[in-house]
A and B are shown apart, each in its own frame.
Chain A
Amino acid sequence: MSASLGTALFEAAAFVALLTACALPLSNYVVKAMDGCPSLARRVLGPVERGCARLVGASEQDSMGPGRYLAGALALTAVGFVGLFVLLLCQGFLPCNPEELPGLPLDTAFNLAASFATNTDWQPVAGESHLSYFSQAVGLTVQNFLSPAIGLAVAFALMRGIAARSAEGLGNVFVDVIRAVLYVLLPLALIGALVGVAQGTPQTLAPYETVQLVEPVAVDAEGNVVAADDPAAVQEVTEAVVPLGPQASQVSIKQLGTNGGGFNGANSASALENPTPLTNLLQMAAIMLLPLTLVFCFGRMVADRRQGRALMVAVLVLLAAGIAALTAAEFAGTAQLAADGAVYTGSLGQPAGNMEGKESRIGTAATALWTALTTAAASGSTNGSLAGLTPLGLVVPLVFMGLGEVVGGGIGTGLASLLGFVVLTVFVASLMVGRAPEYLGKKIGPAEMRLAVIIAIAPSLVMLAGAAVLLLVPDAAAGAGASAPFGFANTLYAAVSAGANNGSALGGFEANTPWANGVLGVEMLASRVIVLACTVLLAGRFAARETSAAQVGALSTASPLFVVLLLVIVVLVGALTLVPALALGPVAEAVL
């Protein structure tokens, strides 16, 4: 291990440790906020909560069964989806559109609406060149609050179901969503936005600005940017357009809500969204903060914090393995990169490694760490080009997403996916010790098993099916943007990203085609709705189960042994499904 790799891993470890330490007290606050306990935020925003609740006719006392809770969650998702879809189609007629951008085509609008309503934030088109301020702020940013709030609500429904002593309701979905927005997402996003503005991220409704370039550049016949004195230059460029708009407010919630959709196409690699080392650090933290917090919340909700800690260990082990593998692969680069000194992969005062696709002010280590975090949590925001990753480095994001939101995942859905795997593990482990399966006093029968396996395998099935369809459509080769295995990896990545509700992409993939928009849009909706629905139904099943007595010598679900088995099952069931695809994509690329 080179010294610079060691430093990078040490920094990553310190970062994750600090983040986990922050998640612990935050989990206490989140549990209290969702339960409606008094807090500073509640004192200020209490009237808003009551007003919103009255507006939708919801009351905390009206605790819902699984059917109504699910109907509410799906209704909110549907309203978000349809609302955003219509808004994007009609963008040209709506206000706050200084660049006079037209409405989006049907397929693009469908894809984008599905994407933001499902917390995926896959973007077939770059925001700054296709979306008005109104679409960004009222369309995307609103969904960036609503979709994680629905996820958070559903996660709490599941936790309440598991913790329920006997046939209790799961809570009120509308009250939960309102609280999630008001007390959890809004205060954190406000802090993030203020820091962003202070660091230089734009927050304005003024039109885009045209600026003179300090040093002119030129474009060649194919439209590539070249030096001004390049012989291939056909036209000199002396000015640039700087996209402005309400960026800081959207950037902070895109990170906090595991959304990931940037204001600009370049996402957080852009100097506007991510101007300083401080914003880079804080945004990275914001990606993983709430997913980790929810794992601790689980321990608090079931009144056994060891359970939360055990799951946290499982998540951190997977996360650490991914970060280490990705960072090592990027520092090592590849033989091709180093050949003829094409890319300098050594260390020059600061670590270099594979600088391809990296923003030079951010560097290899911070990009690798960010990439691991953004695919472990279902965020998808990026601070570099993922297409520039080494083939083996690319395996890590694919595996993280292929596991189906287990390593942190999206807000709420991540915890639900993890618990789906926990149920499978409990089932197998219990049988091995000769007991009927039971998790935290709740029996696991066929009904629970059915829901848990669907949660665990649905994303895998959706992504595999999506990838196969995208690869078999007539213009598959054109959409993939390159020949196999690179083109295969591009398409595979898109399908996996959509199926995992992640939203990150490899640049080579031609995303804005009717096929891609349609297939990926359906994937995102299917994956999200199936996981949400099964989670709420599972919560209902658990709530309806009597809690059995704590037994002497019962199988401990907080022991290291259990965590090991959980990891084995996650890897065997979750990751093995991707092995053939990985072999044809990044692995084939690595051995070419």
Chain B
Amino acid sequence: MNPLMKRALVDAVRKLAPKAQAANPVMFMVYLSALLTSVLLVLSWFGIADAPSGYIAAICAVLWATVLFGNFAEALAEGRGKAQADSLRAAKRDVEALVLAEQDLAAAEGEAQGALLRAAAQSVSSSTLAKGQLYLVMAGEQVPADGEIVLGAASVDESAITGESAPVVRESGGDRSSLTGGTTVLSDWLVARVTAEAGHSFLDQMIAMVESSARAKTPNERALELLLIALTLVFLAVSWTLYGFGAFSASTQGAANPLGLTSLVALFVCLAPTTIGALLSAIGIAGMSRLNEANVLATSGRAVEAAGDVDVLLLDKTGTITLGNRQAAAFVPVDGVDERTLADAAQLASLADETPEGRSVVVLAKERFDIRERTLTGAGFTVVPFTAATRMSGVDFDGHEIRKGAADAVRAYVEARGGTYSAQCASVADQVAREGGTPLVVARDGRVLGVIHLKDIIKSGIRENFADLHAMGIKTVMVTGDNPLTAAAIAAEAGLDDFIAEATPEAKLEAIRRYQAEGHLVAMTGDGTNDAPALAQADVAVAMNSGTQAAKEAGNMVDLDSSPTKLIEIVRIGKQMLMTRGSLTTFSIANDLAKYFAVIPALLVPLYPGLEVLNVMHLASPASAMLAAVIYNALIIVALIPLALRGVKYREGAPATLLAHNMAVYGLGGVAVPFVAIKVLDVALTALGVA
């Protein structure tokens, strides 16, 4: 047997403790019912019985099985998290930490800085580290605590947390400065300041989350539970008042009340929404677990649920909608220059440009005119790198100057050299921008040659993705630093609903507030420290694991893969969880119809033989009917465990289509399945001679 199952079986028994049962009101009532039948069973051995001892024993056994099956479902859902937690715990052990004083940091300078620091550091246990202290990690050592890197750069193996074996670079300053306890430094050394003490670290949070020990019921879960409690109360009333009804009906006929305690308890358990009641927490835990499997950690179940309800997605353009880089798509010469000349100059200007955009210019020149790569090592070649001040790059050779850059930068450059920036060039640049491209203007010796059309490459399949989201009522908003013209063109091409151009962190925050004021729920992804305010404001805020500590703290989920498309997946997981809850609730309620037809004739035929007409399933005897119904009730929980853990099949589509589909499958299915199953069980019970 697989260890997960074995563990769940043990836990299912352990969960029989009253305290664990009380957390789930519906199953608690089943638990009490099972206890009551146990008492009735014991009493029956002493001759105090309302039914044959064997019948009471059978009902009692099935009720206990029902409770255990519910426990098992929950335990199995938790099992996956526990296994994950165990492996995380392995990474979380006390290690030796090298503590540095502030003055050590200031004192150690120069080539052998690392060695100097190592000499100055004092060795303590990692569990004693306090927030704000500085520590040093050398190559090959495990990071003792979460920290913000203040000095150094190193490659770090984060596989213990992310499961990703490729090392990542962590360095002071910028957006990759957070260091997670439990990871291992592979090369060089780092000095970091402790941001979380032992017991509160990211790893601790992760363990708590995946273990579900920190799982609180979400508002939606509580609302559903209220509905289930209400139904339970109703059916409690139905079964207990039936005792009075039966007593009256029997007494006026001078007969004994055929409705014994055992049968009424069984009736109650049959009618109560035990199916969804038993699986409710498993569905929630499994949802979290699916999220964990997608390498996303949520800080609360509420965030997962909110993810299911998000209706505005702020998506970063780069990496989500377009491939990371723009590529040169065309050379557009102006002012009578021929295309080859332009291509030649552009290639020269880009040879030293190692950015993907630069490479793509070289590639295009080769494709279009077979201009081969040249080396720029010869005398007279001077590479002019891109700077934020000039916003141009290029090359100087043999007294010539070739430059490429943003249109306004090149215009300023050309005009400063006494050249003219022609209207044709301006209009071509505009045209490129309008089409969603980025114009790079190329000039030689103060004369404009033409424009390189850099194009954003929209990811394949993303358009269909957005169309699906749109059908689900989710508004997709692209966030980009591009100008509005470019942004609009890309948004239109990718099929987004809206865009925020020239986005600054403030503009993002502003947009989130605006959407929320309109009553939307907003989700976003962020990594930098400057994203933190927007992350804190968003309803679902996914911080990249590669991002800064500030971003991770502001968000309510961390994406260990740091993938920009993860947001869409998160929304799907959230929605799937809600759908699973709704579908199983519908199924559970629909089941009652068949159960009534099985149980009511069984209970009442002794009083009024004519009621046999209600026995539409032609069940063999009252006892077999009753047993078949309670056994079905218990087995359906087991049968639905895989569905609860896996989630119902997720589909995107208009709500009406989804509703029709799920109503047909789980509503009509919920009516039909028990009729068949109870009949089959009845036949089996009769054949076995049990009842």
Q: What are 28 pairs between A and B in contact, CB < 8 Å?
A: A431-B220, A431-B581, A432-B663, A433-B655, A434-B308, A434-B472, A434-B575, A434-B576, A436-B306, A446-B223, A446-B226, A464-B241, A467-B245, A468-B244, A471-B248, A472-B244, A472-B248, A480-B252, A483-B253, A484-B250, A485-B608, A492-B245, A548-B521, A553-B654, A553-B655, A554-B473, A572-B589, A588-B607
The complex places the Cα of A433 from the Cα of B575 at a distance, in Å, of 8
Q: Which of A568-587 contact B (CB under 8 A)?
A: 568-569, 572-573, 576-577, 579-581, 583-584, 587
Contact (Cβ within 8 A) B248 A484? yes
Q: Which of A202-232 contact B (CB under 8 A)?
A: none
Contact (Cβ within 8 A) B659 A432? yes
Having A429-B659, A431-B583, A436-B578, one finds 18 other A-B pairs with CB under 8 Å, namely A428-B585, A431-B582, A432-B663, A434-B579, A436-B306, A446-B219, A448-B223, A453-B226, A456-B230, A467-B244, A472-B248, A552-B475, A553-B472, A565-B659, A577-B235, A579-B596, A583-B600, A584-B245
Q: Give the dominant DSSP class at A's interface.
A: helix
Binding site for B on A (CB under 8 A): 424, 427-437, 441, 444-446, 448-450, 453-454, 456-457, 460-461, 464-465, 467-469, 471-472, 476-477, 480, 483-485, 487-488, 491-492, 546-549, 551-556, 559, 561-562, 564-565, 568-569, 572-573, 576-577, 579-581, 583-584, 587-588, 590-592
Contact (Cβ within 8 A) B253 A431? no
The complex places the Cα of A587 from the Cα of B607 at a distance, in Å, of 12
Contact (Cβ within 8 A) A588 B610? yes
Contacts of A450 on B, CB cut-off 8 Å? 226
Among residues of B, the one whose C-beta sits closest to the C-beta of A562 is B659
Shortest Cβ-Cβ A-B pairs, 8 listed: A431-B582, A591-B610, A548-B519, A434-B575, A436-B309, A432-B582, A468-B244, A453-B230
Contacts of B613 on A, CB cut-off 8 Å? 591
Contacts of B253 on A, CB cut-off 8 Å? 483-484
Beyond A477-B252, A572-B593, whether A584 also contacts B604 by CB under 8 A is yes
Contacts of A587 on B, CB cut-off 8 Å? 611, 614
B224 interfacial contact with A, CB 8 Å: yes
Partner among B222, B235, B240 whose Cβ is within 8 Å of the Cβ of A468: B240
Contact (Cβ within 8 A) B226 A432? no
The complex places the Cα of A485 from the Cα of B583 at a distance, in Å, of 39
Beyond A435-B308, A445-B223, A561-B660, whether A464 also contacts B475 by CB under 8 A is no
Contact (Cβ within 8 A) B473 A551? yes
Contacts of B590 on A, CB cut-off 8 Å? 572
B592 interfacial contact with A, CB 8 Å: yes
The complex places the Cα of A441 from the Cα of B520 at a distance, in Å, of 10
B107 interfacial contact with A, CB 8 Å: no
Contact with A along B431-467 (1 / 0, CB 8 A): 0000000000000000000000000000000000000
Partner among B231, B244, B659 whose Cβ is within 8 Å of the Cβ of A471: B244
Distance from A51 Cβ to chain B, minimum over Cβ atoms (Å): 42
Distance from B477 Cβ to chain A, minimum over Cβ atoms (Å): 13
Contacts of B596 on A, CB cut-off 8 Å? 576, 579
Contact (Cβ within 8 A) A485 B308? no
Among residues of B, the one whose C-beta sits closest to the C-beta of A429 is B659
The complex places the Cα of A449 from the Cα of B667 at a distance, in Å, of 21
Among residues of A, the one whose C-beta sits closest to the C-beta of B253 is A484
The complex places the Cα of A81 from the Cα of B579 at a distance, in Å, of 47
Contact (Cβ within 8 A) A453 B227? yes
Contacts of A429 on B, CB cut-off 8 Å? 582, 659
The complex places the Cα of A234 from the Cα of B577 at a distance, in Å, of 79
Among residues of A, the one whose C-beta sits closest to the C-beta of B249 is A484
The complex places the Cα of A361 from the Cα of B36 at a distance, in Å, of 58
Contacts of B235 on A, CB cut-off 8 Å? 577
Contact (Cβ within 8 A) B470 A553? yes
Contact with A along B228-265 (1 / 0, CB 8 A): 01110111011011111111111111000000000000
Contact (Cβ within 8 A) B608 A592? yes
B354 interfacial contact with A, CB 8 Å: no
The complex places the Cα of A35 from the Cα of B659 at a distance, in Å, of 37
Partner among B234, B520, B659 whose Cβ is within 8 Å of the Cβ of A461: B234
Contacts of B230 on A, CB cut-off 8 Å? 453-454, 456-457
The complex places the Cα of A446 from the Cα of B607 at a distance, in Å, of 42
Q: Which of B248-297 contact A (CB under 8 A)?
A: 248-253, 271
Contacts of A454 on B, CB cut-off 8 Å? 230
Contact (Cβ within 8 A) B241 A465? yes
Among residues of B, the one whose C-beta sits closest to the C-beta of A445 is B219
Distance from A325 Cβ to chain B, minimum over Cβ atoms (Å): 17
Q: How many B residues have CB within 8 A of the partner chain?
A: 79
Q: Which of B25-49 contact A (CB under 8 A)?
A: none
The complex places the Cα of A579 from the Cα of B604 at a distance, in Å, of 12
Q: Which of B666-681 contact A (CB under 8 A)?
A: 666-667
Contact (Cβ within 8 A) B519 A588? no
B130 interfacial contact with A, CB 8 Å: no
Contact (Cβ within 8 A) A460 B659? no
Q: Which of B102-125 contact A (CB under 8 A)?
A: none
Among residues of B, the one whose C-beta sits closest to the C-beta of A441 is B519
The complex places the Cα of A552 from the Cα of B473 at a distance, in Å, of 5
Among residues of A, the one whose C-beta sits closest to the C-beta of B231 is A573
Contact (Cβ within 8 A) A432 B238? no
B656 interfacial contact with A, CB 8 Å: yes
Beyond A431-B224, A433-B659, whether A588 also contacts B237 by CB under 8 A is no
Contact (Cβ within 8 A) B227 A592? no
Contacts of B306 on A, CB cut-off 8 Å? 436
Among residues of A, the one whose C-beta sits closest to the C-beta of B225 is A446
Contact (Cβ within 8 A) B658 A549? no
Q: Which of B571-628 contact A (CB under 8 A)?
A: 574-576, 578-579, 581-583, 585-586, 589-590, 592-593, 596, 600, 603-604, 607-608, 610-611, 613-614
Contacts of B608 on A, CB cut-off 8 Å? 485, 584, 588, 591-592
B662 interfacial contact with A, CB 8 Å: yes
Contacts of B234 on A, CB cut-off 8 Å? 457, 460-461, 573, 577
The complex places the Cα of A487 from the Cα of B579 at a distance, in Å, of 47
Contact (Cβ within 8 A) B655 A435? yes
The complex places the Cα of A429 from the Cα of B581 at a distance, in Å, of 11
Q: Which of B287-318 contact A (CB under 8 A)?
A: 305-306, 308-309, 311
Beyond A433-B662, A446-B219, A580-B604, whether A461 also contacts B237 by CB under 8 A is yes
B61 interfacial contact with A, CB 8 Å: no
B518 interfacial contact with A, CB 8 Å: yes
B471 interfacial contact with A, CB 8 Å: yes
Contact (Cβ within 8 A) A556 B249? no
Contacts of A547 on B, CB cut-off 8 Å? 519
Which one of B311, B576, B585 has the highest number of Cβ atoms from chain A below 10 Å of its Cβ? Answer: B311
Which one of B579, B582, B614, B662 has the highest number of Cβ atoms from chain A below 10 Å of its Cβ? Answer: B582
